[in-house]
Amino acid sequence: MSQEDKGLGPIVSSEHLASGALPALSEIEFGLVMLNHAFSRWMVRCMAAAGVPDLSPVDILVLHNINSRNKAKTLADITLVLNIEDTHVVTYALKKLERLKLIKSGRRGKEKLVMVTEAGAEACVRYKSTRESLLVKSVLATEVSIDSLSEVAARLRALSGHYDQAARAAASL
């Protein structure tokens, strides 16, 4: 029996937004809010457990992105992949990570590139190990299927496109 069948209505943070044509979207939004905060908290605590305290969630995402595929990245590469519109946020993270000697910068012509250092790569390995033992092991214990997780991820990426388009439309009002 669903929450609505029990007379409880959808589980949302803002009932006035759930009173429109698509209440389930408000449920998704509330789930995303909760997931975003839980994920941010997890990243910070996992990285601290991996020996690198005091990084923000964006710092951690940027470090993992730079470490990915062991390939130098540009600011534009990072902002595009992470879907971060404000380049200043990523620039600040890059400066912080470089100051901590987790990344280093170089140039390809006029283009600035960033690469992970050995210390940064080691931090990512420790993060992965902690993630595997604490998070992945826990999720696997729920017997959730890999296919269902992939389907949820695909739907979330698709929804992000709708939100991006709506944001562009709202900016033109």
Question: Would the pLDDT of 1 be above 60?
Answer: no
- Residue 118: how many other CB atoms lie within 10 Å: 10
Q: In degrees, to the nearest 5, what angle opens at C-alpha 91 toward C-alphas 85 and 95?
A: 160
- At 152 the pLDDT is 96
Mean pLDDT taken over the chain = 94
What kind and span of H or E run contains 165?
helix 146-171
Q: Where is 140: in which H helix or E strand?
A: helix 137-140
pLDDT at position 2, please? 56
pLDDT value for 72 = 96
User: Across residues 47-58, what is the average pLDDT?
Assistant: 98
Q: Tell me the pTM.
A: 0.90
